Structure 1
Amino acid sequence: MRTQIQRRILLWRALWLLCFADLWSDTDAQLRYTIPEELKEGSIVGNVAKDLGLDVSEISNRKLRIASESGKQYFSLNLRNGELLVNEVIDRETLCGQSASCMLPLQVIIEDPLQFYRVEVGIQDINDNSPIFLSEINTIEVPESTLTGARFRLEPAQDPDIGTNSLRTYALNKNEHFVMHIKNDKDGTKVPEIVLEKSVDREKQSVHHLILTGIDGGDPARSGTTQITVKILDANDNAPIFEHDLYEVKVMESTVPGTMILTVKAIDLDDGINGEVEYSFAAHTPEIIQNVFDINPVTGELVVSKNLDYETSTSYKIDIRARDKGSLAMEGHCRVQVNVLDINDNTPEITITSSPKPVREDAPAGTMVALINVKDLDSGVNGNVTLSMSPGTPFKLKPTFSNHYALVTDSKLDRENFPRYDIELKASDSGSPPLVSSKLLTVNILDVNDNPPVFSERVYSVYIKENSAPGSILASVTASDLDTGENAKIVYSVLDTNTRDVSVSSYVYINSENGSIFSMHSFDYEKMKVFHIIVLAKDNGSPSLSSNATVHVFISDRNDNAPAVIYPSASMGSVSHQRMPRSAKAGHLVTKVTAVDADSGHNAWLFYRLAEATDASLFSVNLHTGEVRTKRAVSEQDDSSQRLMIEIKDNGEPIQSTTVTVDILIEDGFHEPISDYREKTIEPNKKNGKITLYLIISLASVSLLCLMTFFILLVKCARGSRGGSSCCIRRTDSEYKNPNRNLQIQLNTDGPIKYVEVLGGDMMSQSQSFGSYLSPMSEFSDLTLVKPSSTTNFTDTLNVLDASLPDSAWTFESQQMQKPPRWGFGVVFSTDLLPPPDIMLKPLRTDLRQNALHSLQCI
């Protein structure tokens, strides 16, 4: 039997799908399945994916899922093949009661792209309930004087099933006095009655035991029984009779408790006490009816005793009994049908069927956020609901099907401005007056990495003193990111740039977490005055975003260098020997002490003073120039040998100083130049004199060779220019505007050692140059010519040269040329220094002195 039922169900379902297949649409298409109740868990209802025309791969890709409108998940979806399965055994009687139609609505949701389908699953009744009687034993009192044909109402059996499976008929066990009669009420209820077919005699049998059987129409049929005890009584042979077998009354659900809604009346033809009628509810009236209604036992007035609720029950069937007061009481029955009329007493309900999920701030318009269902327990216009939402948000409500909405994005989102939205939903019915309910829906916005880190400053300037300890903090840069989480987590690093051909990463270290920059070693202002750090701030987003800032590190000078004496040269020994005539007058220039300081600014200002002297009244030292002059004329009484100790101090804090000792020999009739004195001084050393001679010869040869090369190049270039091409000189418009170019002088610094380069040609061209190194008081007159160099810092060179030496210490001579060759040669002449030779340039270091002759070059 069960197999036949299932086949019928499948046949009806197939026919239904065939009829309604063309009615599907993209937004509110419906599927309908029919299944019998009591199916086992896991039973297949139908293939939703197949019926919607979806491939198996689209089930997970498009995020197919179902949502129940009833709040209880009776079904589940197999995500592997799209089959709709029974998730819980369904009892139709519990779910729908006596309703003829039992439908379970479902929502089928496809999220990508967003589509909605309504599925209705009809629950078909099966004969799973037997007719039951509320009482196992019923007692009926029958007077013995009752005439044949008298009818006695029995308790109806209850069958929760519907249709053919509901109660169909009754059967009474065979006996000689009573037969079965079934009465059909106007509402379709089958009421069993027993009819007296043969008069009873209490003296023969006072009690009759009958068995009443209720049989339903199922296949196979089910049944239930109750025992009827018939007691035979004497006397009172007329029962009360109601004016109507069925009373109908309509009552508003807002009726106040205590209101009388109906009066029933029964007539008893007996006289006296046997004709007095008392009203009451029938013996087996449900308790719910007895709680809601009361009946006056004397007047028969039916009164509402409790508030009615249309949403709980739309109607009530009340069985009323009229019983006389005879010794052998007789009774009559009627039924009252109470229909409850609806009023607008229920506010609309808003149900979030799909909780709002966080939305990425880059989500496109139309992205689904939540599913919303609204309903009103009232009926008619009172149950028509309209849903709206608070304005001013980037969301909108999209109707899907009846009373169902989807909350979707309507415009671009920005988490940095609005990280969350509190949306107020309002549902209003069409009653008079309308009832309104609201619900707050919170939507969180997920961050995406759309903001790069931003430094508090684009350029930082940092000042650090030289000789600071390694590991000291230089600066702290900070960047902020408007994003959150990993997108806002910033990592700092230093771009690997070069400063003086050295990677900046070897100078500094940066804390990648907080942006603190530390020095890797101590800095020397004399070697490097400023360098630049490019700091990169990069977030942890995907893809990551970054920005950079520049940190200018300025190294400030400390007075960490003592003045270095250039002249007299230390290579001549610890004491410098000078000669002067005894005929010298006051103000005679004896010698000049020249010193430089590797520091800068105030730290490099030098002051000279006479610390010790054999005769302090004879000599004085100029505070700023270091010139040693006589304070008075030399007399015959003055000692011929004078020793001076001259102290040179800088202007730093703390003060650095050095001293030089000068021995002065006062001679009579001394008129020779200082060069003669040098020749006499170095005469004992013939070897050294030869070296000086060789050096002078080499210098003359090189000068002659360079001069010849200049004229040869000049002739070739002049010939080449006639043919429209140039061989060695590039002519530009600027050259013709100013054809006479001076030779260029460049001072390069290497710690305390300074040297001069004299360049030929345009400052902007790659001219050749020669650097000359020569000790002002060298015993060997060492001269070194070096390879060409650049001319980029000419202005700075002159400034440094001006600051480090007195104005009278140096003079520069250059010869103007109309077409300067691309080479240069530098010579600096000293006019005020008496002891040194005519040519004076940078002092050679001690380790270069012995190799002076080998360093002569011409490029």
Structure 2
Amino acid sequence: MLFSWRGGPGAASFLLSLLLLTSWEAGSGQVHYSVLEEAKHGTFVGRLAQDLGLELAELVPRQFRVVSKDREDLLEVNLQNGILFVNSRIDREALCGRNAECSIHLEVIVDRPLQVFHVEVEVKDINDNPPVFPEAKKRIIIAESRPPETRFPLDGASDADIGVNSALTYRIDPNDYFALGTQNNREQTSSLSLVLRKSLDREQIQEHSLLLTANDAGKPEMTGTVQLLIAVLDVNDNAPEFDQFIYKVTVFENAFNGTLVINLNATDLDEGTNGDIIYSFRRPVSPAVLNAFTINPNSGEIRTKGKLDFEEKKLYEISVEAIDKGNIPMAGHCTILVEVLDVNDNIPQITITSLSLPVQEDAQVGTVIALISVSDRDSGANGQVSCSLTSHVPFKFVSTFKNYYSLVLDSALDRESVSDYTLVVTARDGGSPSLWATASVSVEVADVNDNAPAFAQPEYTVFVRENNPPGCHIFTVSARDADARENARVSYSLVERRVGERALSSYVSVHAESGKVYALQPLDHEELELLQFQVSARDAGVPPLGSNVTLQVFVLDENDNAPALLPLPGAGGGAGAVSELVWRSVGAGHVVAKVRAVDADSGYNAWLSYELQPAAGGARSPFRVALYTGEISTTRSLDEADSPRQRLLVLVKDHGEPALTATATVLLSLVESGQAPKASSRALAGAAGAEAALVDVNVYLIVAICAVSSLLVLTLLLYTALRCSAPPTVGACAPGKPTLVCSSAVGSWSYSQQRRQRLCSGEGAPKTDLMAFSPSLPPCLSSTEGTGEREADLERLKEVSSYL
């Protein structure tokens, strides 16, 4: 629109004010719609965005949202077309009761810039509730002496609808004796009564049964019924009568318990007991009346009972009947309308909704933090509420509608200065004296994720004993993060890798929240002495930050392996049994055999000692065993008195706690010098049953000597051929050659510095046994010694190789 303006400065100021007023009214205007109750989901209510002057394309960018106090699910807006539609069932009676006006108030909020619109949706009534009588059957007692045109009050039906939908008409079954009568009074209440049209005759009809029907004026029409059972009695001629048919009284809601409301007085023209009157509430009595009032049956006084509440119920309708004490009791009836007057006894209520917390410290000024509404259940000035906010804070109130406020950011935030604010909202009513209430709003200033979790040290050393129970806790890692909330919530995980042929996660696990490290299976020191891995700690920020820590888990040895006996190369028997031939001419201290054993443990748990068990019968043996080498030697010179067969029992024991043991049986056969070969014989059978099978020792000795001699010659020839034909090869488990262990001149043993020597062959699996020569061999030779002695050593080496 183009226009020209020629006015002076005053006119320009007036025009500017007019434009500002028009802009404010457009931003804060109110839109009114209407919708029928019980409308189906999706029912069109109105083109909200179009009626508010908003473009559909800006609804989402401007954060278009609708707020409804306590009724958030009834109506909804489609952000694609801006249409307001019914979202869930709307029941006008549940929403507003019997109030003539019923509306849903919505608050529409858009940002950038902040605008607040108020929408009122009127809920119109439909005829969806039928009339309902208090009772399905109503019993009435009428004396036959009652004259025609006598009225008997009836309880009318109630209809939860309003307007024409609750306008009721009544009809009764056609009959000769009764008709319906209605009366309207100045208090706008309608009373229903049963009018006697014709004198009753109990001798003809003792009981009348009539159906009373109530119809409302809605479309379609709905009905309700009650069965009237009228009993005809004789006797009493006069019923008690009240001064008025309707009484109207008032009482304050803060009246004390027992306050007199009204003193009723009914009169009866009869005398004696027929004139004595008893007052009572006419049945059925509503629970609200019973809880609020009491009536004295003799005096007719009605008093308060308990506490009245104007906000719960403003008007009570009390039906009272006065019954005389005649043989055929007669009753008079009246109605008391008790109006409850309001006092300022309710403090304001503060409701805080739609909190946008926490607030980023870089939030823009004008950002809506929360929506606040205040209310007071009192009426008049007692229910008028004003609202205020804590001073000296970077927030303020913006009034959007009556008793509705928006809490917005008024100035920039700085988390490093103040990390959170506690705002106090104060609501005060206009009563005398006034009542007030406060509510606290905690506004937290959000941080950004700029700190990674940090461990106290980069590496930890952990010691765990082997054979631990599965799932045992071995260590706890802990990292601290200087950030706040989610940015400081640390979770832990393993840095997965391979440990040999297996994954690290098959050995250990870490609890994601507590950082506790668990061993998932029993650890074996003999299999794994050191397990080194990393644990990662990451926070929950976006993006997440993390760091790692190294754990070195040393598996400590336990004495869980008993000594294992090894067979002696070139000796008969197996592990745990050794057979040797011994010359009778050997002197004291001569080594005749050696018991070999290994222990898979380490340290003291693998340190072995040997003990010779006492012989049966207490006889002293001519042999002894070295404590730590297992060498069996003579304690004296052997003679003809010594048994030709000596059975020795050697106990091998480690130094663990508790100590584990093994037992070896050594069978020694004593032979004369002329019968023994120069080299040590092949081993005899080691078991006791084998001794019984040796019937002719000389024959077996001759066979053994021939076999050994032949084997030595063949071995020497084979070794010389292999030596000359090709260089020596390395076994399948290279790189190292077997370590040679030799006996010294004094019978002690030397061994390689490796704790275990892996001995492998090209055909079978590697062995971890300790290789040793027979104690009867000479000491290890140097490279300068004679060729004959070296060839003897090579022959022994071949014997050991054949065993391995």
**Which TM-score applies when normalising by structure 2?**
0.52
Give the distance between the partners of 2:295 and 2:482, measured in 1 at CA. 78
Contact 2:448 2:487 in 1 (8 A): no
Q: 1:185 to 1:223 in 2, by over 3 A?
A: farther
Give secondary structure in 1 for the equivalent of 2:90.
coil
Q: Would you say 1:414 and 2:410 are equivalent positions?
A: no
Give secondary structure in 2 for the equivalent of 1:25.
helix
Give the distance between the partners of 2:484 and 2:34, measured in 1 at CA. 52
Alpha-carbon offset, residue 120 of structure 1:
1.6
Give the distance between the partners of 2:485 and 2:435, measured in 1 at CA. 42
Residue by residue over 1:384-429, the C-alpha shift from the partner in whole angstroms, topping out at 9 and shown as x without a partner, is 2121121121111111110111111111211211122111111122
Residue by residue over 1:482-525, the C-alpha shift from the partner in whole angstroms, topping out at 9 and shown as x without a partner, is 999989xxxxxxxxxxxxxxxxxxxxxxxxxxxxxxxxxxxxxx
Residue by residue over 1:46-104, the C-alpha shift from the partner in whole angstroms, topping out at 9 and shown as x without a partner, is 22111111121121121111111235532222222122222221211122222111122
Give secondary structure in 1 for the equivalent of 2:60.
helix
Give the distance between the partners of 1:107 and 1:168, measured in 2 at CA. 38
Contact 2:447 2:483 in 1 (8 A): no
Partner of 2:192: 192
Q: 1:408 to 1:72 in 2, by over 3 A?
A: closer
Residue by residue over 1:656-686, the C-alpha shift from the partner in whole angstroms, topping out at 9 and shown as x without a partner, is xxxxxxxxxxxxxxxxxxxxxxxxxxxxxxx
Aligned residue runs from structure 1 range 461-480, under 5 A: none
Aligned residue runs from structure 1 range 657-736, under 5 A: none
Give the distance between the partners of 2:69 and 2:157, measured in 1 at CA. 34
Give the distance between the partners of 2:357 and 2:411, measured in 1 at CA. 17
Alpha-carbon offset, residue 361 of structure 1:
2.4
Q: 1:139 to 1:452 in 2, by over 3 A?
A: closer
Aligned residue runs from structure 1 range 772-783, under 5 A: none
Q: Would you say 1:51 and 2:51 are equivalent positions?
A: yes
Partner of 2:249: 249
Alpha-carbon offset, residue 312 of structure 1:
0.9
Alpha-carbon offset, residue 351 of structure 1:
0.5
Q: 1:72 to 1:310 in 2, by over 3 A?
A: farther
RMSD between aligned alpha carbons? 2.9
Partner of 2:233: 233
Residue by residue over 1:118-166, the C-alpha shift from the partner in whole angstroms, topping out at 9 and shown as x without a partner, is 2122111111111111111111112112211111111211111111011
Give the distance between the partners of 2:335 and 2:170, measured in 1 at CA. 20
Aligned residue runs from structure 1 range 383-532, under 5 A: 383-447=383-447
Q: 1:355 to 1:245 in 2, by over 3 A?
A: same
Letter in 2 for 1:329: P
Give the distance between the partners of 1:364 and 1:110, measured in 2 at CA. 15
Partner of 2:330: 330
Contact 2:27 2:115 in 1 (8 A): yes
Q: 1:27 to 1:285 in 2, by over 3 A?
A: farther
Give the distance between the partners of 2:165 and 2:185, measured in 1 at CA. 19
Alpha-carbon offset, residue 167 of structure 1:
3.6
Letter in 2 for 1:90: I
Residue by residue over 1:800-841, the C-alpha shift from the partner in whole angstroms, topping out at 9 and shown as x without a partner, is xxxxxxxxxxxxxxxxxxxxxxxxxxxxxxxxxxxxxxxxxx
Alpha-carbon offset, residue 372 of structure 1:
0.5
Residue by residue over 1:413-470, the C-alpha shift from the partner in whole angstroms, topping out at 9 and shown as x without a partner, is 1121112211111112222222221111111223479x999xxxxxxxxxxxxxxxxx
Contact 1:276 1:325 in 2 (8 A): yes
Give the distance between the partners of 2:300 and 2:424, measured in 1 at CA. 53
Q: 1:187 to 1:89 in 2, by over 3 A?
A: farther
Contact 1:24 1:30 in 2 (8 A): no
Partner of 2:292: 292
Residue by residue over 1:659-716, the C-alpha shift from the partner in whole angstroms, topping out at 9 and shown as x without a partner, is xxxxxxxxxxxxxxxxxxxxxxxxxxxxxxxxxxxxxxxxxxxxxxxxxxxxxxxxxx
Contact 1:416 1:482 in 2 (8 A): no
Give the distance between the partners of 2:283 and 2:484, measured in 1 at CA. 75
Give secondary structure in 2 for the equivalent of 1:290.
helix
Partner of 1:106: 106
Partner of 2:572: none
Alpha-carbon offset, residue 184 of structure 1:
2.4
Contact 2:46 2:84 in 1 (8 A): yes
Letter in 2 for 1:126: I
Give the distance between the partners of 2:439 and 2:236, measured in 1 at CA. 67
Partner of 1:120: 120
Give the distance between the partners of 1:45 and 1:248, measured in 2 at CA. 44
Alpha-carbon offset, residue 186 of structure 1:
3.8
Give secondary structure in 2 for the equivalent of 1:61.
coil
Alpha-carbon offset, residue 188 of structure 1:
3.1
Alpha-carbon offset, residue 24 of structure 1:
8.8
After TM superposition, what 4+ stretches of structure 1 lie above 4 angstroms from structure 2?
Answer: 480-487
Give the distance between the partners of 1:417 and 1:258, measured in 2 at CA. 61
Q: 1:183 to 1:482 in 2, by over 3 A?
A: closer
Residue by residue over 1:322-375, the C-alpha shift from the partner in whole angstroms, topping out at 9 and shown as x without a partner, is 122222222122111111111121111110122133333233322211111011
Partner of 2:376: 376
Give secondary structure in 2 for the equivalent of 1:400.
strand
Give secondary structure in 1 for the equivalent of 2:428.
strand
Give secondary structure in 2 for the equivalent of 1:34.
strand
Q: Provide the aligned length of Structure 1 versus Structure 2.
A: 445
Contact 2:40 2:86 in 1 (8 A): yes
Letter in 2 for 1:355: L
Alpha-carbon offset, residue 237 of structure 1:
2.3
Q: 1:23 to 1:229 in 2, by over 3 A?
A: farther
**Alignment gaps of 5+ in structure 1:** 1-21, 454-479, 488-540, 544-859
Give the distance between the partners of 1:485 and 1:73, measured in 2 at CA. 31
Partner of 1:164: 164
Q: 1:289 to 1:24 in 2, by over 3 A?
A: farther
Contact 2:420 2:444 in 1 (8 A): yes
Q: Would you say 1:282 and 2:282 are equivalent positions?
A: yes
The farther-off stretch of 433-442 and 222-231 is 433-442
Letter in 1 for 2:202: R
Give the distance between the partners of 1:542 and 1:314, measured in 2 at CA. 57
Give secondary structure in 1 for the equivalent of 2:337.
strand
Q: Would you say 1:28 and 2:24 are equivalent positions?
A: no
Give the distance between the partners of 1:339 and 1:485, measured in 2 at CA. 58
Partner of 1:151: 151
Give the distance between the partners of 1:76 and 1:259, measured in 2 at CA. 50
Letter in 1 for 2:384: N
Give secondary structure in 2 for the equivalent of 1:340.
strand
Contact 1:361 1:448 in 2 (8 A): no
Residue by residue over 1:200-253, the C-alpha shift from the partner in whole angstroms, topping out at 9 and shown as x without a partner, is 211111111111111111122211111111111112122222112221222111
- Identity across matched positions, percent: 43
Partner of 2:533: none
Partner of 1:133: 133
Partner of 1:603: none
Partner of 2:206: 206
Residue by residue over 1:568-607, the C-alpha shift from the partner in whole angstroms, topping out at 9 and shown as x without a partner, is xxxxxxxxxxxxxxxxxxxxxxxxxxxxxxxxxxxxxxxx
Aligned residue runs from structure 1 range 518-667, under 5 A: none
Contact 1:426 1:436 in 2 (8 A): yes
Give the distance between the partners of 1:542 and 1:203, measured in 2 at CA. 95
Contact 1:169 1:182 in 2 (8 A): no
